[in-house]
Amino acid sequence: MTDRVVLAYSGGLDTSVAIGWIAEATGAEVVAVAVDVGQGGEDLDVIRQRALDCGAVEAYVADARDEFATEYCMPALQANGLYLDRYPLVSAISRPVIVKHMVRAARQFGAKTVAHGCTGKGNDQVRFEVATTSLAPELTSIAPVRDLALTREKAIDYAEKHDLPIATTKNNPFSIDQNVWGRAVETGFLEDIWNEPTKDVYSYTDDPTFPPVADEVVITFEQGVPVALDGVAVTPLQAIEEMNRRAGAQGVGRIDIVEDRLVGIKSREVYEAPGAMALIAAHQELENVTLEREQARFKKGVEQRWGELVYDGMWFSPLKKSLDTFVADTQKYVSGEIRLVLHGGRATVTGRRSEASLYDFNLATYDEGDAFDQSHAKGFIEIYGLAAKQAAARDERFGNGPDFGVGTL
């Protein structure tokens, strides 16, 4: 039986050419795998037929939008997943679900190798290959762009020579990756980090400089997952899509960042994630109301490490799974409603309520009805500061007291 290679197939120029390119370079048959994670564009049936027309022996297509939203975006929301405190891991969380379907296809069609269209200097090569070996250690990976020297110019020439049913152009200045959680744009003139993004960079968001009338939305959460918008029940996918529309119309979620890639270089990236950023803002505020103080403090460190692991392609790693367990436990009481005002590029929390709230009005108020016994404060401060007081006294005995400088007291 001829060897088979499963190729992550987008339907675009590079992966369409890669079908024949891989076959010629390796002698293997190619099985194209197209996974819809909400990136928009063409119908899956059209993509399936194009893959077959370009030489694939089989075409596996999957509508994974609900799966992606529920099993990948929602854990990212519960973890407040933001790499470098700003990037909501748009591309990073889509790679594991694509790989899962690639592995499924490899086993279905008897392939021993998987292929992807990543370069040798990006993060995605790591995400695809580490996820593959984590799910199916017996599979090997190849990357035509990286391993077989498939450049864009060669891809265009190959497509024209073989009359492939795919548009060829050298004019697109950007590299774009998008899904329902957001959109990533890089390369072209953006590689000069002094250059300001132009209007044509953006697609998911409108210009926040001239916003429409402010939009108020009430988001209902159950255990950290949005279940209703303005009282109307929604699935995770519907929640993201609707918040993309409403927050995007207000220019929410534009991110321009120089980030640290896994391979050791810094890269300028422009992201649009209106729904993700609005939902994360609401979720963070509900956690402020419902998480116990020490639990919330510890979770901040977990969130940072969780985001780093996911960014670095370790979605299926043992540590990531352990952190998932902690995050899931913290969401037990993260239920309630958050009122957001979307306007001029900002998602601003203006109200919060929860039956599981730890906010006690009678303890917090300074007015009549105050239930906080202030007489306890003096003794609390004495005990709380006792260790520091003892250490300061020791420093004084050894001549190491604080230097206040001349004239500071």
pLDDT at 40: 87
Instruction: Reply yes or no on whether 163 is catalytic.
Output: no
Q: What is the pTM assigned to this prediction?
A: 0.93
Element containing residue 155 per DSSP (H, E): helix 152-161
pLDDT at 267: 95
9 assigned to a ligand binding site: yes
pLDDT at 377: 84
Same fold, 176-353 and 361-396: no
Hey, which CATH number is domain 4-172, 3.40.50.2020, 3.40.50.620, 3.30.2350.10, 3.40.718.10? 3.40.50.620
Instruction: Give first-to-last CA distance, the chain, whole Å.
Output: 87
Which residue of the set 124, 183, 268, 335 is catalytic? Answer: 124
Q: Does domain 361-396 have CATH number 1.20.5.470?
A: yes
CA–CA separation, 365 and 361 (whole Å):
6
In CATH, what number does 176-353 get? Answer: 3.90.1260.10
322 assigned to a ligand binding site: no
Mean pLDDT over all residues of the chain?
93
Instruction: Reply yes or no on whether 14 is catalytic.
Output: yes
Average pLDDT of 99-114? 97
Domain ranges of the chain: 4-172, 176-353, 361-396
Q: How many CA atoms lie within 13 A of 132 on its CB side?
A: 25
Strand partners, 216: 341
Which residue of the set 95, 183, 246, 346 is catalytic? Answer: 95
Helix axes 124-135, 94-109, angle to 10 degrees: 50
- Give pLDDT tens digits for 326-336: 999 999 999 99
140 assigned to a ligand binding site: no
pLDDT at 2: 87
- Give pLDDT tens digits for 298-314: 999 999 999 999 999 99
**Predicted confidence band of residue 156 (pLDDT cuts 50, 70, 90):** confident
Instruction: Reply yes or no on whether 354 is catalytic.
Output: no
Which residue of the set 14, 48, 183, 268 is catalytic? Answer: 14
Which residue of the set 43, 45, 175, 394 is catalytic? Answer: 175
311 assigned to a ligand binding site: no
119 assigned to a ligand binding site: yes
290 assigned to a ligand binding site: no
Instruction: Reply yes or no on whether 107 is catalytic.
Output: no
pLDDT at 404: 79
DSSP code for 242: H
Q: Are 97 and 74 in contact (CB under 8 A)?
A: no
**Predicted confidence band of residue 408 (pLDDT cuts 50, 70, 90):** low
Phi-psi bin for 406: left (phi > 0), alpha (psi -120 to 50), beta? beta
